[in-house]
Chains A and B, each alone.
Chain A
């Protein structure tokens, strides 16, 4: 039997949709674990990226972050906090926020700093204050990249929340970890499939957001294609 047949059989078993720890419950829990850290990370990283991109100070810091953030093993970070903080909200919230910040920060910086200097000059020449320059000119132009950063972060957080089940968290990872423990491939495959579906939905969501929020001209420019 293949991955898909195991996964499909398990997902279509109605018993798994009822009771405690059912599929809908874990999907909701998983979304909860993802949305909150993402919001917090965006609240921190977007302003920071804008400031660094606009003023140019601290750019070296961003480059260092860009080079090194992927080296941090997510499981290690989760477990380290679990050992120190026990199994509380902060144990999963802190690492997820920390891991969600770099892609947003890097891409926001890149977007703001990469605005055509002629355009920035024109804005300055028109007498715009820094604040107006940022909000009227730089941020709108940087929007495609900011969205790419948010999308990368969202994918990352979905994946890490899956692993967090190992330290006792609920969510879709629960099916995977419990199934691995009981050697039942059904929930393992089913959980994995649901996580993949969730990730693809996140991609689709951001594609829609891109269409809605970003002006057509900028969208064409940004189509050079970056996965992150």
Chain B
């Protein structure tokens, strides 16, 4: 590992990290923006969810490279192609969490809000969404992390990202460059993950910290709760 390579090429590394971050974060945010209304509808009208879930499962199964290729005639070899593809994948991860989070709001709580005179919108915004927030943000975290990692593949269709370091490193048989690329992607993903963790803590100050570590995985949350009961 040639450490001196890093300061020598700092502007390149920084620029690629920034491009990669843009691709990943924007895609996850767009995924969230689309998932929220879809998820709210699916949580409310149960018949809506199974077909939507099937479509989501199919899209998620499509390899990202293949999806981008399908978009090329319409959007070219551009950032847009990559972002649209990654938004679709983020959607697949965030939507089930929105639905699970909203459905996990205990019925008594919803009924109490109605009893207090909250209309459905006010109840949604002030009660259900905040309670669902940990699970939704958990899904957003997964979405951001996987988008950042997948964005590096964009270099295969010429879209600038940290994947450049992998490709150039391969061509020159230069492990240092590849390690730097790997570390940058992972660090970037971890930083974004921690930022979102902070966001969740800001938005849900009533949640004890320890328990919520598992909350992003609805299944694991059930495990944790059951553990406590047993």
Q: Tell me the A residues contacting B by CB distance below 8 Å.
A: 1-3, 6, 63, 66-68, 70-77, 79-80, 82-84, 106, 110, 113-114, 116-117, 121, 145, 155, 158-159, 162-163, 166-167, 173, 176-177, 180, 185, 188-189, 191-193, 195-196, 199-200, 202-203, 224-228
Least CB distance, B171 to chain A, in whole angstroms: 10
Q: State the main secondary structure of chain A at its contact with B.
A: helix
| Partner pick for A73 among B57, B152, B190, CB 8 A cutoff | B152
B145 within 8 A of A: yes
Q: Could you tell me if B178 and A79 are in contact, using CB atoms closer than 8 angstroms?
A: yes
Question: A67-B193, A75-B163, A226-B96 are known contacts. Are A83 and B170 too (CB-CB below 8 A)?
Answer: yes
In Å, the complex CA distance between A82 and B146 comes to 23
Q: State the main secondary structure of chain B at its contact with A.
A: helix
**Which of B7-15, B64-72, B126-134 is near enough to bind chain A?**
B64-72
| Partner pick for B66 among A75, A76, A177, A195, CB 8 A cutoff | A195
Q: Could you tell me if B63 and A225 are in contact, using CB atoms closer than 8 angstroms?
A: no
Contact-residue size bin, chain B (C-beta under 8 Å from the other chain): 35 or more
Residues of B within 8 Å of A6, CB to CB, are 73
Residues of B within 8 Å of A113, CB to CB, are 223
Residues of B within 8 Å of A159, CB to CB, are 63-66
Rank and list the top 9 A-B pairs by shortest CB-CB distance, nearest first: A159-B63, A71-B189, A117-B230, A192-B66, A192-B69, A199-B61, A70-B146, A73-B152, A3-B70
Least CB distance, B34 to chain A, in whole angstroms: 15
